[in-house]
């Protein structure tokens, strides 16, 4: 995994993978959520977890922060096997819903998560990064959905994490803001931060360095958007996803044991 990395932004020689998932299985009750998933996220890259709703993306991300224990397999993050309390301080996690304290202001929310992570000095930068420094005194319950997403991102960024896990960060936000978000993700990656972005939107996937296509708890393929379309022999990523799904066991979801 680490050996295949060509250039390392940040310069560490043969740095370990930011995230290494090995043979992970998870069932909730009788329903299999993840079925033998292995993947790795390199340091300083934007890795897209691409798949339909219910494919297992959120479960996989929650495993990376130690909130879900795998039935089998291991998850290592920044060199430590999860769960690991110390490593959590170097991870930023943005949940699918904008999980914020609705009765606090923007700044109070960001300051709270900064204090929890012992990183009060990052508040100003985080507010500026999401362009909310003008609205810092607004109470979250009065904000629009897009502003809440921005505030949520600021809370995930405030302690300058080395790994950022973003679960559908651009759902429900307008195109202009989405472009800003992605610009920001690219800037972070250029600074050596590794990002895992869950999405079911194909055009977002093209902005990732590498993708993991996930469907019904199985990793169908891993690679850059170009590699994946070439392998499937199609032009568009959407078609590649459908082709690879069909190869894996059909469109009807019959792949489950």
Partner 1 sequence: MSTRRTLAITRRLLQGFRRDPRTLGLLFGVPIVLLALLGYILRSGNSGPPTGVVNQDCGPLGGQVAAVLLRSTLIDARDMSRADADAGVDDGSLAGYVRLPCDFTAQAQVGRIQPVVRLEGSLPSSSAAVLQATQQGLAAVFAPRNIVLAPQVSYAHGGPQYDQLDYFGPAFVGLIVFFLVFVVTSVSFLRERAQGTLERLMATPVRRGEIVLGYMLGFSIVALAQSALVLLFSLYTLRVHSQGNVALVFLVEGLLAIAAVNLGIFLSMFARTEFQAVQFIPLVIVPQFLLSGIVFPVNTEPRVLHDISNLLPLTYAVYGLRDVMIRGDGLGAGGLGLDLAVVAVFAATMVLAASLTLRRRVA
Residues that bind partner 1 (CB under 8 A): 62, 65-69, 83, 85-86, 88-89, 91, 93, 95, 97-102, 113, 116-117, 155
Q: Report d(CA 7, CA 98) in Å as an integer.
A: 34
Q: Provide the token pair at 103.
A: 């009765």
- Which CB sits closer to partner 1, 97 or 256? 97
Give the shortest CB-203-to-partner 1 separation in angstroms. 27
Query: 219 pairs with which residues across the strands?
Result: 214
Cβ 102 to partner 1 shortest distance, Å: 7
Rank residues 67 and 190 by Cβ distance to partner 1 and give the closer one.
67
**Which among 37, 18, 38 has a CA at the least distance from the CA of 79?**
18
Return the residue matching tokens 């959905």. Answer: 145
When the beta carbons of 33 and 39 are compared against partner 1, the nearer one is 33
For residues 84 and 30, give the distance between their C-alpha atoms in angstroms, rounded to a whole number.
28
C-beta neighbour count of 218 within 10 angstroms: 20
Q: Which is nearer to partner 1, 69 or 179 (CB)?
A: 69
Cβ 90 to partner 1, closest distance in Å? 9
For residue 90, give Cα distances in angstroms to 78, 131, 143, 221.
Answer: 8, 23, 28, 28
Residue with Cβ nearer partner 1 (152 or 245): 152
In the complex, minimum distance from the CB of residue 120 to partner 1, in angstroms, rounded to a whole number: 14
| Pairwise CA distance, residues 28 & 80, whole Å | 25
Q: What are the two backbone dihedrals, phi and then psi, of residue 77, each rounded to the nearest 5 degrees?
A: -130, 125
Q: What is the closest distance, in whole angstroms, from the C-beta atom of residue 119 to partner 1 in the complex? A: 10
């Amino acid at each position: 995994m680490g050996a295949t990395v060509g250039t390392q932004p940040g310069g560490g020689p043969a740095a370990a993978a930011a995230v290494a998932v090995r043979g992970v299985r998870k069932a909730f009750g009788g329903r299999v959520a993840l079925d033998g998933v292995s993947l790795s996220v390199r340091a300083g890259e934007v890795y897209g977890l691409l798949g339909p709703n219910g494919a297992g993306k959120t479960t996989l991300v929650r495993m990376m922060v130690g909130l879900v224990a795998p039935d089998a397999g291991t998850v290592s993050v920044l060199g430590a096997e999860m769960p690991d309390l110390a490593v959590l301080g170097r991870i930023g996690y943005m949940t699918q819903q904008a999980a914020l304290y609705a009765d606090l202001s923007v700044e109070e929310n960001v300051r709270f998560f900064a204090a929890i992570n012992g990183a009060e000095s990052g508040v100003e930068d985080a507010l500026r990064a999401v362009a909310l420094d003008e609205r810092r005194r607004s109470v979250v319950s009065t904000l629009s959905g897009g502003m809440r997403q921005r505030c949520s991102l600021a809370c995930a960024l405030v302690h300058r994490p080395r790994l950022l896990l973003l679960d559908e960060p651009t759902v429900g936000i307008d195109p202009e803001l989405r472009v800003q978000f992605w610009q920001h993700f690219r800037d972070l990656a250029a600074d050596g931060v590794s990002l895992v972005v869950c999405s079911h939107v194909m055009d977002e996937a093209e902005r990732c360095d590498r993708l993991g296509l996930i469907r019904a708890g199985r990793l169908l393929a891993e690679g850059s958007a170009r590699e994946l379309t070439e392998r499937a022999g199609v032009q568009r990523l959407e078609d590649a996803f459908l082709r690879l799904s069909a190869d894996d066991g059909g469109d009807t979801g019959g792949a489950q044991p």
